[in-house]
Chains A and B, each alone.
Chain A
Amino acid sequence: MSQSVFQVNLEGILRILSESLYSTPQVFLRELIQNSSDAITARKQLENFQPNITIDFFENDAKKGLIFKDNGIGLTKEEVELFLSKIGASSKSGKDVDMDRSSYIGQFGIGMLSCFMISDEIIVRTKSVKNPQESVKWVGKIDGTYHTEIVEESFPECGTKVILTIRKDVELTSENICELVKEYATYIPIPVKLNINEVDQEFQQQSFSWNDQSNQVLALQQGMDFFRERFDLSFPIDLPELETYGKVYVLNRTTNFGERGTARVYIKNMLIVKENAELLPQWGFFLRLVINSSHLGPTASREEVFKNSRWEDVKKAIERQLKTHFIALSANHPQLMESIVGHHYVALKSLAISDSDFARIIVPLFRYETSQGVLSLGEIVDKNNTLLYVDDVEEYQRIAPLAKAGDQLIINAGYIHDHALFESLRGLYSNHVIQRIDAAFFGQSLKNLSFEEQAAVEIGEKVIQDFLEVYHCQVQVKQFEPSTIPAMFTVSEEARKSKDQENIKEDMDSLWSFFTESITAEQTVKPSVLVLNIQNSVVRKLLTENKHRSSRIIAETILFNAMMQANIPLNHAEQQQLNLNLNYLLENLIR
């Protein structure tokens, strides 16, 4: 049986790889910088020399082109045949490399393809350190053809020169080139020279700020350059065991709900990704991170970091280090920590829920609205053995006036993470009682009537209960301030859901109504309660004079009003009844 070889449409593959692998044509420059960087690394393994990279960009009305030159190890003719002409064969992978693979940034053998995204022809002129007598020229075209030749005229020095004529349809200007070189080459430890139409661009390279920990000014300046934000505070990320170093910056503005902390990741000094949203912990949305790592690896496109166990190790180590920094800051600079808490309490609450060591330090600094003004949790805990909190803002706003009138301290814990945080406080403040309350609980704690008062309203209370039977709520009579509030409607979370389930049953077919009935039949739900306020004049009258038709209407209207105050949506029937009641009352008023 004869064997065949796969037929490959190179142009087609080049197009697919170029269009699908890389997000933008401009990545070719990163690939060239990376290749040169790796070539220089390879040459350094063999000998000492002064490395350099030169980028020449030419532009006129007729055409534009780029010459990319390095004095790295270069390629022999065999290597040119092997690595440039065979897609997927990298000089930095497999058994052909007798050097440490981990030194290289690229390992997949497809970087050169990116040049076809901007040029129909790639010319490579190279002389290898391993065979300096031989100068090689390789020309590859987008139609899938190439040729290799030994050039008689010897190239002046070892290294590689890549010559590209940029296609007319490619939007690449000298400004773009300057931006791209700045983006990718600023931090590589190799001098890079950039010329635009033979004019030296004085491109400034620098080292990462964490190489000099004492230079906080440089650190904050780099933070501004990386993230376009002003920072006042940064911490080092120092993970020598994971060959990862960097800086984390603390935003000095409040973040929006849903904003994520992002990380700028360099691998061996080469920018890989500008905004990675997964490296920082979920609570870190008020942070920005920049790292340079030799431990992480890039994906094939080199536009993302490969998510393997190394990634997980680095991620966990960063989180550990962040927590250590915040704990130290609380101990050594409490006022600064208070300011951070003021801006970023949401994130810090989230962290405090999952980390008890951190919670112990940070929780007393959180400030809360209470029925006795805004207080820190530390202040509240110092003065009260019992912490009553309401985990819904609107519920809190309903109860707070009553609590204030009764000189009771209740806490508004209705914002994001508050409920979970307060649940976790029981472990932190084991000598305190930490109690979640709602309107129902509060209703129970309102002042009862005296025996005589209760006797006087007993019949009236029963009449009103009968009026309101159809609405499945209990009626209680209590007394509370302010007297302008006729009633309070208290409903448990379960009762709210139960009401919704009852309402939507009408919108289902008979099969699903059956399931709903069956499920709800097994539930025991505490009924909602209408707590009438005997201090209110309308209620007092209702309780004592309730024989008229209007009494029922008034009772219902008080109920519906109290429900709406509690943000309970009225169903269709309740809405209709309310409209009828208001109509009746207004007609009588006009008369």
Chain B
Amino acid sequence: MKIETEEQAKDILSKIRWEHSSENKRIAFQCLEFALRIKSKSIEDLARINYFGHLIFLNEIDEALIQYGWMLNRLKETREIGEDFNTFSVVWNFKWVIHQIPTFASFPLDKVEATLQQFKALYAEYNGGEKVIHYFEMQLRLFLGDRKKSLEEYEKYQSPTISTSIYDDCSVCQKDALIEYFNHLGFYEKSRSFNSEVGAENFTCSEVPQITFPKMCFANLMCGDFTSAAVFYKQTIDQLTLKDAHIDLYYYILYYLGISQDHQGGIAVLEAQLEACFKTSADYRKMNFYHAGFHMCSEWTKQGLQSVPFHLESNDFVQLDNGKLDIRKAKEWFETNFRLHLNRLNTRNGNNYWSEHFIELEKQLITIADRFAQM
């Protein structure tokens, strides 16, 4: 696309603002480069916000975090001169950012805490209320392996007298986040209590329920309700686009596909999602995905599967043998890389919380797999 004038750039940016796609992301970046070439601060502002929106939607977290750092600084700059720089958008998106920051083991604890303080200060400044703070702090503490503090924050979040604001996630997004939170704590029955609600017509916003289905699939699987798990798996496949990067969602499905012996489904997920794993340096996400991949391959190995046709552009995975993936090698690869990111996270956190979590999870998975096999 050839961009020649400021008006043209503004027009393009307004048209692609809410139509998120890889193509539009590239267009937004082109508008940004145009703005930098002609040194237009106003177009740069528009282009970066736009570009950032696409990065979040496409789950390109690493790059989005970098752009956010610029946005935060720009908010401060413009505030000092009395201008508005997409204030609501910048403040709103800090929620997404604070959710991602602790997932990078390369970010030390003091920096994570400093970011949390920045988040609290910004929300205090913009009357963000208390609910949103506790909502994100409960998740952050769990990423840092502090289960006790996390549950304390959860209690505060639940308080009916807590102050709310326009910055709170919508009610269904909050329920979705709770389901994920319960899953991480191993409170699967609590997640399952949302079974009928998640299927209802009014349980919807721009991302929900499609991002909730894989979480419900996993929760039901872990409670031994294979029928409901299958239903939620089908809904995931129907409503989530497999080629969109969602390693934080599809890893739930890998557990299900391992136990249910759905080889075709599992390979499709790996082929579609592994590249996204390689692109990010978010240890927490990679750890979960690789563990799920390891578990899936373990189950398949137990079932006698030796190799499957496989295709991946990247060379970062197991070497293929004549277009086929050796399941045992894949299992080893996943285990090695899972432990790598697990150890990095534990080292950063200064505790073994996540190691203990996976030990417990693996015991439960063995029980569930046995139960499924006996059906």
Contacts and interface: CB of A to CB of B under 8 A. Distances in A.
A496 interface: yes
B115 A511 contact: yes
A514 interface: yes
B33 A393 contact: no
A569 B30 CA distance: 11
Contacts of A518: 104, 106-107
Contacts of A516: 65-66, 69
Interface in A496-543: 496-497, 500-501, 504-505, 507-509, 511-516, 518-523
Contacts of B70: 504, 507-508, 512
A568 interface: yes
Q: Which 6 A-B pairs have the closest CB atoms?
A: A512-B69, A569-B36, A258-B15, A508-B69, A522-B281, A504-B70
A509 to B, nearest CB: 6
Interface stretch (A107-115, A233-241, A411-419, A579-587): A411-419
B32 interface: yes
Contacts of A493: 26
A504 B23 CA distance: 23
26 contacts: A257-B12, A258-B15, A419-B23, A420-B22, A500-B32, A500-B36, A504-B67, A504-B69, A504-B70, A507-B70, A508-B70, A509-B72, A511-B114, A512-B68, A512-B70, A512-B72, A514-B107, A515-B104, A516-B65, A516-B69, A518-B104, A519-B63, A522-B106, A523-B62, A564-B37, A568-B33
Contact of B73 (A393, A509, A515, A569): A509
A379 interface: no
A567 interface: yes
B111 interface: yes
Interface string B115-134: 10010000000000000000
Interface residues of B, number: 34
Nearest to A258: B15
Nearest to A308: B201
Contacts of A497: 29, 63
Nearest to B48: A504
A521 B106 CA distance: 10
B99 interface: no
A395 to B, nearest CB: 11
A416 B29 CA distance: 14
A567 B33 CA distance: 8
> Which residue, B2, B36, B37, B66, has most C-beta atoms of chain A within 10 A?
B66
Given A508-B70, A508-B73, 10 more contacts: A414-B1, A497-B63, A504-B70, A507-B70, A515-B107, A516-B65, A518-B106, A523-B281, A569-B33, A569-B37
Contacts of B12: 257
A589 B179 CA distance: 72
A394 interface: yes
B324 to A, nearest CB: 20
Interface string A537-555: 0000000000000000000
A518 B107 CA distance: 7
Interface in B1-46: 1-2, 12, 15, 22-23, 26, 29-30, 32-34, 36-37
Interface string A385-420: 000000011100000000000000000001111011
A139 B272 CA distance: 68
A568 B33 CA distance: 7
Contacts of B74: 507
Q: Do most interface residues of chain A lie in helix, strand or loop, or is the interface mixed?
A: helix
Interface in B217-262: none
Interface in A413-433: 414-417, 419-420
Interface residues of A, number: 37
Contacts of B65: 515-516, 519
Nearest to B118: A511
A546 B34 CA distance: 34
Nearest to B16: A258
A392 B42 CA distance: 24
Nearest to A511: B114
Contacts of B281: 519, 522-523
Interface in B59-113: 62-63, 65-70, 72-74, 101, 104, 106-107, 111
A501 B30 CA distance: 15
Contact of B1 (A415, A420, A504): A415
Contacts of A394: 2
A349 B317 CA distance: 33
Given A504-B66, A518-B104, A512 B114 contact: no
Contacts of A393: 1-2
Contacts of A567: 33-34, 37
> Which residue, A392, A415, A518, A519, has most C-beta atoms of chain B within 10 A?
A519
Given A415-B1, A417-B23, A519 B118 contact: no
Given A393-B2, A497-B63, A504-B69, A515 B111 contact: yes
Nearest to B61: A519
A505 B101 CA distance: 17
A415 B26 CA distance: 11
Contacts of B118: 511
Contacts of B34: 567
B22 to A, nearest CB: 8
Contacts of A569: 33, 36-37
A504 B63 CA distance: 12
Contacts of A522: 106, 281
A508 B73 CA distance: 6
A513 B1 contact: no
Contacts of B73: 507-509, 512
B60 to A, nearest CB: 10
B40 to A, nearest CB: 11
Nearest to A516: B66
Contacts of A507: 70, 73-74
Contacts of A504: 66-67, 69-70
B344 to A, nearest CB: 11
Contacts of B72: 508-509, 512
A532 to B, nearest CB: 24
A519 B103 CA distance: 12
Nearest to B35: A569
Nearest to B67: A504
B56 to A, nearest CB: 15
Contacts of A515: 65-66, 69, 101, 104, 107, 111
A143 B73 CA distance: 57
B62 A519 contact: yes
Interface in B284-312: none
A383 to B, nearest CB: 28
A87 to B, nearest CB: 25
Nearest to B2: A393
A340 B238 CA distance: 33
A507 B74 CA distance: 8
B287 to A, nearest CB: 15
> Which residue, A257, A393, A518, has most C-beta atoms of chain B within 10 A?
A518
B239 to A, nearest CB: 13
